[in-house]
Amino acid sequence: MIYVGLGSNLGDREAQLEAAVRRIAGLAEVRIMDRSTWWENPAVCGDFQPPFLNGVLGLESSRSAGELIGEFQRIERELGRERKGDQSARTLDLDLLLMGEDILSEDELEIPHPRMHERLFVLIPMMEIAPDAIHPVLGKTVKDLYGALEWGVYG
């Protein structure tokens, strides 16, 4: 299973996320199998930004990680995303979190997502749809990662 994190903290956040879900559902060779509810979270970089709405999709696809990221970045641009750095507010953020047991480290792409185990805004919606998904590098389930983060192990 492939898991994708979605987030938005500018404009009509829910409309942005729903538009992204529709566009992802329309991609060739991509099938949405599950989705979390939207969760409101404070911006990681502090109080100077509006809160995010975040969620996770579970997908099946025969497409490569590079192809999926390319499609996700195109969708982000089409929905008004301007890349101004990691800490900037954004209309839409689509992150490839997990691709089954795949481990990949390339210039602009790392799977599993290198900070997913440190982020409640990823782990809470993952708990909703995939508590038993395994992080292939850490060898722990989402449930274990969530518990560790709640107890301060990773923070």
Residue 33 maps to which CATH number? 3.30.70.560
Q: Band of the pLDDT at 42, cuts 50, 70, 90?
A: confident
The predicted structure's pLDDT at residue 16: 94
Q: Which long-range contacts (CB under 8 A, 24 or more apart) does 105-110 make?
A: 106/66, 108/69, 109/65, 109/66, 109/69
Instruction: Please tell me the predicted confidence (pLDDT) of residue 91.
Output: 77
- E strands in the chain: 2-8, 30-35, 39-41, 52-61, 93-99, 104-105, 110-111, 134-135, 140-141
Note if 34 is an active site residue.
Answer: no
User: Which pTM does this prediction carry?
Assistant: 0.91
User: What percent of the chain has pLDDT above 70?
Assistant: 88
Choose, from 13, 23, 35, 90, the residue flagged as catalytic: 90
pLDDT value at 155 more than 50: no
Query: What are the residues whose beta carbons fall under 8 Å from the beta carbon of 127, sequence distance 6 or more?
Result: 142, 143, 146
* Residue type at position 25: A
- Number of separate domains in the chain: 1
**Domain hosting residue 109, numbered range:** 2-115
User: Is 23 one of the catalytic residues?
Assistant: no
Among 13, 23, 35, 95, which one carries the catalytic annotation? Answer: 95
- Domain membership of residue 6 (yes or no) is yes
Indicate if the pLDDT at residue 152 is higher than 80: no
Out of 13, 23, 35, 93, pick the active-site residue: 93
Residue 103 lies in a domain: yes
Q: Return the pLDDT at 108.
A: 79
Active site residue 81: yes
